[in-house]
Amino acid sequence: MTDRSDVRAAVQARLKKRHAAERRFRLYGLLAVGVAIAFLLLLLGRIIEQGHTAFITHSITLDVAVDAQRVDPAHPQGANYDQMAAEALMARLGVDADDADNARAARDLLSPDMGFQLLSQVREDPSLIGQTLTIEAPVGDSADLYFKDEISRDTPEDLRVLSNQQIGWLDRLEADGLVESHFNTGLFTRSDSTQPETAGLLGAVVGSALMLMVTALLSIPIGVLAAVYLEEFAPKNKLTEIIEVNINNLAAVPSIVYGLLGLAVFIGWMGLPRSSPLVGGIVLSLMAMPTVIIATRAALKAVPPSIRDAALALGASRTQTVFAHVLPLALPGVMTGAIISMAHALGETAPLLMIGMVSFVPGVPEGVLSASSALPTQIFIWENAAEAAFHERTAAAILVLLVFMVVMNAVAIIVRRRLERRW
Amino acid sequence: MVGLILILLAVFSAATYWFARRRVVLAIANGGPRAHSRPKYHGAHAAIWAAVPAIVVLLVLAAAGPRLTTAITWADLPQAAPAAEPFRSQFQFDAEAIAAGRTPSAVAYSPAQRQALDAHAERIGAINGLLRLGGLAAVLLAALIGGLYAWSRARPDFRARNSVERWVAVLLFGCSAVAVLTTLGIVLSLVWESLRFFQTVSPWDFLTGTHWSPQIAIRADQVGSSGGFGAVPLFVGTFLIMAIAMLTAAPIGLMAAIYLAEYASKFQRAWIKPVLEILAGIPTVVYGFFAALTVGPAFRSAFNGLGEMLVGGPLNGLGLYLMGVQNQMALVAGFVMGIMLIPFVSSLSDDIINAVPQSLRDGSYAMGATRSETIKKVVLPAALPGVAGAMLLAVSRAIGETMIVTMAAGLQARITANPLDSVTTVTVQIVTLLTGDQEFDSPKTLSAFGLGLTLFVVTLILNIVALRIVQHYREQYD
């Protein structure tokens, strides 16, 4: 017998190497999962970090004298209320109101909303002309950012939007207790605006809701019935096969192509109004339909054949079997799939850009035919805006969108947990 | 108007349902003959006949009505109408707008033309009113005839259930045909608009030209100048960003899938899978925002910092270049897109790896192989076709992805393989061409459809090939 210790040592050494390789490989896998999770956390963390400030805003209370000399009671809209508000601010601060630079600097700190509020009050009650009104309005976007410490006084003066003089004024106003911070209800009660401090999401939320309603009304019934046909009725022939291949491929068509379809067919050819939730909803429903069909078919497949056999044996027709027994039993799965595809449709952006839902719409849409924006396109619009104050609002809008999606997915999970039946 | 008619029709068909049902109930009551179908089927049969023909008539009229008016009045435009196109069409268009109570365009008409316009609008209004009245009568007539016909058949021996079920079958088939109609709609609209585009720019120039500047072709008033519509820079940009995305997503996604399928405990799977699903559920516009405002600036400052360190050293030129790198580089868009694709790649690969039969693994373990050796030498080669299919699907997603590139990539069309350069993609250009002010007929707008058609064809081929591979692979182990 020869001594095999050298062989054993070589085997041991190789085994050690192989085990090290094993550990390394496993580590790579763990690392990959870790990278994905880390990016999710980074993404959510960054958006919360950028967006949470938008839920707080600062408003200022001023006593504004409505100068009877400058307001024509017949044409109250002709007067410069912003200037009056700025003068009230300067009077409060005790600076020379006749200086044009001072006036401009003061106007910059106030939101045009103050002027609008003055105008609407005067319009409602012309007897207010000549009196002093107490108005509470949001501060200007730059002043708001300053109060949130987003604009630092340590930045050199020429690199920030507020001058030293303006910052001094803001400090004094805050010390005087005129500035108040509170929850930004305007974010949910106002619609889009060119001024960040008065821009809100109401119009976009309503637009998205209308659009989703159209999508749900079209894609869920049509998708479910199509799935019922393919799963329960369709004969195995060439035509059925074509339809099936078609649906699988439609699910993978880039979303922007659906937008082109919407632009060419629904707007160009049928003449439906641009930027309307109706067109958006139709386009999204075409996109959502393959997903609804695929989910419904999976749910129908999960219903055991014994149910069908029992119904048929008792003399029910095929239609009766499907609609009275199979479909009701598959309903939880169908609903889960439908809700998840609606949540997907809610976040879809690219096709909406094609059909003009990126235009500036300052009001709340009145119906499915009026011009409207939607939550994801509002995010896109605000992201492109120049003012820094829109950035926090973009992140806040993303948070609102994500909350809606989380709620919808949670509902889907609850439906699945509560109603799902295992056979 | 249409809404009111629809409500009327709904009420009418509900009434027919009730009457037809009652007729059968009364006929079989008190020892009458046995009915073939339950009374509700007779009711449903009558309701269908009351509603469907009327709705068909209504839809046809609603679609054809305005066109009919245009056709009738276009033939005899007043003498004063401008003779030259496009003003002649605009005249007709404005008259229709006035007749519908909308504001006409801001075209300045002469007093004589203005008068003719108003007269023409009045004429259109009158014809519209007549058509509407006639349409209403036709719809009501259709509903009445349909309802009476079905009501007359509501007798116990009539096989109402079979008839209703035939209608249901037609409805079901119609619903699944919508999918085919959608595809047809996509293909026809893309091809139709692209054909109009290719009348001014030859397809060859479009697909092989290296100069892309659709804006300039408009400004110089050289409609159809072929120089501006060479799409090769866009294809190169799309490919570059797709390659970066796949270099990010493929290894990370595949390794994550391997870990989930082969190593993770039940508990880990229960946690990691939902997290990846959340990552997959985040809208792309959010990724775009993240790329533009977080990743872009971070990458730029990292490269700028690196450049500062290199400046003055042996790599001075490279340092200077790195210091000038901007936010909108291909790397940023590609990298973020790669993150977006990780859950897509990993869930597809996970399914495919799980489909590899356990016997293959067991055989490998029995020969003394470690887990990683089994995965690398046995599982992955067996799963390779499926994984390749999954990667192709991911490539197709990357090519068609719009929001991330629109928000994080640039607009400069250039041919480069440098990931630090700013490039543009097919989807970015489609968005740029079709948002903002546009005339529907300019080659600039139509070129977006040419790009869309190219995109559709490429992604369709990728999908078909990928789905074939995945399907074939599944059959192999089933």
CATH of residue A266: 1.10.3720.10
Per-residue pLDDT averaged across B154-183, rounded? 89
Residues A239 and A369 in one domain: yes
A317 and B402 in contact by Cβ < 8 A? no
Nearest to A264 among B189, B260, B285 (CB): B189
A47 and A88 belong to one structural domain: no
Provide the domain limits for residue A77. Answer: 55-193
- CB atoms near residue A137 (< 10 Å): 22
Residue B413 has pLDDT above 90, yes or no: no
Q: Which residue, B428, B407, B130, B177, is CA-closest to B283?
A: B407
- Nearest CA among A185, A371, A384, A349 for reference residue A275: A371
Q: What residue in A sits closest to B258 (Cα-Cα)?
A: A29
What is the structure's pLDDT at B215?
65
Contact B60, B134 (CB under 8 A): no
Query: Are A94 and A228 found together in one domain?
Result: no
Res. B225: pLDDT tops 50: no
Q: Rounded mean pLDDT of B407-420?
A: 85
pLDDT of residue B220: 47
Residue of A nearest to B441 (CA): A268
With beta carbons under 8 A apart, name residues in chain B contacting A252: 393, 396-397, 459, 463, 467
Confidence of residue A53 (pLDDT cuts 50, 70, 90): confident
Which residue shows structure tokens 């030859």? B202
Q: Are residues A83 and A171 in the same domain?
A: yes
Collect all residues of chain B within an 8 Å Cβ-Cβ radius of residue A380.
285, 288, 403, 406-407
Query: Number of structural domains, chain A?
Result: 3
pLDDT tens-digit readout, A278-313: 999 999 999 999 999 999 999 999 999 999 999 999
B231 strand-pairing partners: none
Q: Which two tokens stand for residue A422?
A: 């295992």
Over 70: is that where the pLDDT of B436 sits? no
Structural domains of chain B, ranges and CATH numbers in brackets: 2-158 (no CATH), 214-477 (1.10.3720.10)
**Residue B454: its pLDDT value, please?**
93
Claim to verify: residue A297 and residue A400 sit in the same structural domain: yes
pTM of the model: 0.87
**Of A19, A35, A52, at which residue does a domain stop?**
A52
In this structure, the answer to whether residues A208 and A64 fall within a common structural domain is: no
Judge if A154 and A227 occupy the same domain.
no
- By DSSP bridging, strand A132-138 and strand A56-65 are antiparallel
The reply to whether A255 touches chain B by the CB within 8 Å rule is yes
pLDDT per residue over B15-37, tens digit each?
999 988 888 888 888 777 888 88
pLDDT in tens, A365-407: 888 888 888 999 999 999 888 788 888 899 999 999 999 999 9
Q: What is the mean pLDDT of residues A127-153?
A: 83
> What pLDDT score does A204 carry?
92
The percent of residues above 90 in pLDDT, for chain B, comes to 33
pLDDT of residue A137: 82
Residues A93 and A169 in one domain: yes
Place B439 in a pLDDT band, splitting at 50, 70 and 90: low
N residues, chain B: 478
Q: Provide the pLDDT for residue B438.
A: 60
Asked whether residue A89 falls in the same domain as residue A237, the answer is no
Q: Angle of helix A238-250 relative to helix B443-477, nearest 10 degrees?
A: 110
Q: Are residues A155 and A73 in the same domain?
A: yes
Long-range CB contacts for residues A160-168, cutoff 8 Å, separation at least 24: A161/A388, A162/A108, A163/A105, A165/A105, A166/A105, A166/A108, A166/A109, A166/A142
Tell me which residues of chain A, numbers 378 to 397, contact chain B at a CB-CB cutoff of 8 Å: 379-380, 383, 391, 394-395
Assign residue B368 a region: left if phi > 0, alpha if psi is -120 to 50, beta otherwise?
left
CB interface of B with A, residues 302-331, below 8 Å: none
Q: Give contacts of B402 with chain A, Cβ < 8 Å.
A: 254-256, 349-350, 353
Answer whether A326 touches B (CB < 8 Å).
no
Same domain, A63 and A142: yes
The 10s digit of each residue's pLDDT in A163-203 is 888 888 888 888 888 888 888 888 888 888 888 888 889 99
Q: How many CB atoms lie within 10 A of CB A48?
A: 14
Phi, psi (rounded to 5 degrees) for B283: -60, 150
Asked if A309 and A372 sit in the same domain, the reply is: yes
Assembly ipTM: 0.89
- Whether A11 and chain B come into contact, CB under 8 Å, resolves to no
pLDDT band at B202 (very low <50, low <70, confident <90, very high): confident
* C-beta atoms of A398 and B278 within 8 A: no
H or E segment at A137? Answer: strand A132-138
Higher-confidence position of B166 and B317:
B166
